[in-house]
Amino acid sequence: MTAHEAAHQWWAHQGVGANVQGATMLSESLAQCSVLMVMEQEYGPRQMRRFLKYELDSYLSSRAAERVQELPLALNENQQAIHYRKGSVVFYALRDAIGEEKLNAVLAEFLQQWAFKGPPYPTTRDFLDLLYARTDAQHHPFIRDLFERIVFWNHRVTTAEVRKRDDGRYAVTLKVHAEKVSTDGKGKETEEPVDVLVDIGVFARPPGGKEADEKVLYLSKHRINQAETTLELVVDELPYEAGIDPYNKLIDRDSGDNRKKVTVLQ
């Protein structure tokens, strides 16, 4: 909370958004973006899952309470579950996709353009136009899904098996399911082709250990472009669990099934 309020010295007290749809993305969501970077530096990237999952689940549970309609982040009308909770996940996913250095450069340029100025005030369109202009075109569909549409990436692990190899290492067979769904503000859903660059992770834990004690054995991005995918990975130690998007960086309606405890085969 302290980091969030301090961040308002930049997002709202320097750059003031126009009083139109999406205005709170330029204040509350950007303040949450700053919070996430502070938290990650303080506690490390592996500790971020707990907070991201809390934000994600809070957003998802609030969707059903919308009395009129849900709007994309860039058009939200002071909807707190969207500009706070969803905003956190969106900006973390953006940073993960384009890199922190690029995101910081875009934010600095945006603030340089608009800080301490009177009307006309900026809108989310100004921010997104700058973001598109400063990022590679390969990221633009994903950016559009994050900010201008309502999209869910529904991922789950269906099988996680491990077998010890003759050389002492461990072969992991990971089967994952992936789907992408877009929805309008009234909840009408449309299934879309799957094509996402997403983290695949394999983790170890000491006996009796918890998630906070886990050790990363493998963590890398894979392009998943079909509903069912089988991955064969090799790690140096006996894994405890494996997962797709294991740190809950994407907007997934059931983030609890992204990880699965491995089955050890003899």
- Helix intervals (H) in 99-242: 100-114, 124-134, 140-147
Domain ranges of the chain: 2-147, 151-265
| CB atoms near residue 208 (< 10 Å) | 6
Interior angle at CA 73, CA 67 and CA 76, nearest 5: 45
The contacts found for 102-108 with CB under 8 angstroms, 24 or more apart, are 102/134, 102/135, 103/33, 105/134, 106/130, 106/131, 106/134, 106/135, 107/30, 107/33
- The pLDDT, as a whole number, for residue 227 is 97
Residue numbers in the chain where pLDDT is lower than 70 = none
Q: What dihedral angle (degrees, nearest 10) is formed by the CA atoms of 212, 213, 214, 216? A: 100
- Write the pLDDT tens digit of every residue in 125-153: 999 999 999 999 999 999 999 999 999 99
- Choose which CATH entry (3.40.30, 1.10.10, 2.60.40, 3.20.20) describes domain 151-265: 2.60.40
DSSP-based three-state secondary structure for 123: coil
- The pLDDT, as a whole number, for residue 46 is 82
- The pLDDT, as a whole number, for residue 68 is 80
- The pLDDT, as a whole number, for residue 222 is 98
What is the chain's Cα-based Rg? 20
Q: What is the pTM of this model?
A: 0.94
- Choose which CATH entry (3.60.60.10, 2.60.40.10, 1.10.1200.10, 1.10.390.10) describes domain 2-147: 1.10.390.10
- The pLDDT, as a whole number, for residue 65 is 82
- The pLDDT, as a whole number, for residue 47 is 86
- The pLDDT, as a whole number, for residue 100 is 96
